[in-house]
Amino acid sequence: MKKLLMIGVLALTMGQASAQRCLPKMQGIELNGSFVDGKAFNKAFSGGVALSTYTKNGSKWVFGGEYLQRDYGYADTTIPVAQFTAEGGYYQKLLTDASKIFFVYGGASVLAGYESVNWGETLLDDGARLTDRDAFLYGGALTLNIEVYLSDRIALLGNVRERCLWGNDTGHFHTQYGMGLKFIIN
């Protein structure tokens, strides 16, 4: 009789276990790709990798690096402007569902890095000279981030972010929107 009762209980509770997601000290590796400033992907893009660590309330700390490139048209060529930045920030959990599949975060980050204009070449093919120079960058970013768990260890990411960086000559604000994947590592 006990065996029959145990089988009945297991059958009724199958598939109803709560997901173990966003627990304190749980970590994940994030890989992201983004469109920049509403331009076509071949004209402006960014990509990055980050490590996220969850806190007690399901929020997270994020530390990572990012590469952003914008190509500016000049005559019949393009002038690339590349930014290499490191990030550290806190993302507050704003919304989640009961099954812990869908999460919305709002975050703020500190950014620092380096910007290269035309890979350091100031003289163009037609003899013109660029006045914008390579420079060190500093600033921050505000981010709205969405995570949708595909399994207990893999999540699909979506984000919208506004970067504000000073120290350069090529523009201070860049809007990014993109997607990525997160792999939970512990």
pLDDT tens sequence for the chain (186 residues): 666 555 655 554 454 444 678 888 899 999 999 999 888 888 899 999 999 999 988 899 999 999 999 998 888 888 899 999 999 999 999 999 988 899 999 999 999 999 999 988 888 878 788 888 889 999 999 999 999 999 989 999 999 999 999 988 777 899 999 999 999 998
Of the candidates 45, 19, 23, 25, the one whose C-alpha atom is nearest the C-alpha of residue 34 is: 45
Which domains does the chain possess?
23-184 (2.40.160.20)
What pTM was computed for the model?
Answer: 0.82
- For 108-133, give the secondary structure using H, E and C: EEEEEEEEEEHHHCCECCCCCECCCC
Helix (H, G, I), strand (E, B), or coil: what is residue 16?
A: coil
In this structure, how many other beta carbons lie within 10 angstroms of the beta carbon of residue 135? 18
Which pair of tokens denotes residue 96? 């989640």
- Rounded CA separation 65/88 (Å): 9
